[in-house]
Chain A
């Protein structure tokens, strides 16, 4: 089975711009979660999508948004970029079934975003 894929792998933007990152989950996985990784804050949860609906959200400003398509692929968007948004953005997919018994989040290689 193919793993989680993320595009692009690297991105350079300037302050004030917006950016869209893409994530394709493992086939059959319906849940996609996004995490931000920075040296200072570590790995932080952004949001989770399941069946095209945002099911869970972390403590990030509204500039961070996402969506999920009917094929479970997900995109996240960051508007009005700030220098502090420079980070590795990781996407994880899981089956998304109710309860925790069968679910493990599998991560993609990440998109490294640099804001100048």
Chain B
């Protein structure tokens, strides 16, 4: 069975600090996708990034960066110079092939609640 572990339940940082959110996954699939979603207090899950299992290049998007290491089954997310608007719950997710052709479902971690203090 697939599993996603986000060991950090809650993190608090002061504005402008850098913060890294950890994600460790387990899967037997050789092809899979990893995702990060942000859930602000409004409740909607906002898609941040998708990374496939064959692409271990790190990615940077503005203040966000992601480090994918297949050797350690980790897909960590770093926010540089955090801002109050970054306060949210962040979820790491792993795709799992479903029973129907072309179907897949997401297995989510428990989430990390990030609070950025002004």
Kindly list chain B residues whose C-beta atoms are within 8 Å of the C-beta of A112: 43
Could you say which of B33, B43, B108 contacts A110, with CB atoms under 8 Å apart? B43
Closest-CB distance, B59 to chain A (whole angstroms): 14
A104 CA / B47 CA spacing, docked (Å) = 8
A20 proximal to B (CB < 8 A): no
| Secondary structure type dominating chain A contacts | strand
Q: Determine the residue in chain B with the shortest Cβ distance to A58.
A: B105
B64 proximal to A (CB < 8 A): no
Q: A56-B99, A56-B100, A100-B33 are in contact. Are A109 and B42 (CB under 8 A)?
A: yes
Closest-CB distance, B107 to chain A (whole angstroms): 8
A101 CA / B97 CA spacing, docked (Å) = 12
Kindly list chain B residues whose C-beta atoms are within 8 Å of the C-beta of A57: 99
A108 CA / B46 CA spacing, docked (Å) = 9
Q: Determine the residue in chain A with the shortest Cβ distance to B108.
A: A43
10 contacts between A and B (CB under 8 A): A42-B109, A43-B91, A48-B103, A55-B101, A55-B102, A56-B99, A98-B102, A105-B47, A105-B106, A109-B42
**By the criterion CB–CB under 8 Å, are B47 and A55 in contact?**
no
**A interface, size bucket:** 20 to 34
Which B residues fall within an 8 A CB radius of A? 31-33, 35, 37, 42-47, 50, 52, 91, 93, 95, 97-111
**By the criterion CB–CB under 8 Å, are A45 and B102 in contact?**
no
Q: Determine the residue in chain A with the shortest Cβ distance to B102.
A: A98
A104 CA / B37 CA spacing, docked (Å) = 11
Q: A33-B105, A107-B37 are in contact. Are A56 and B98 (CB under 8 A)?
A: yes
A100 CA / B100 CA spacing, docked (Å) = 13
A100 CA / B106 CA spacing, docked (Å) = 12
**By the criterion CB–CB under 8 Å, are B98 and A48 in contact?**
yes
A25 CA / B110 CA spacing, docked (Å) = 25
Q: A43-B91, A107-B37, A109-B44 are in contact. Are A55 and B106 (CB under 8 A)?
A: no
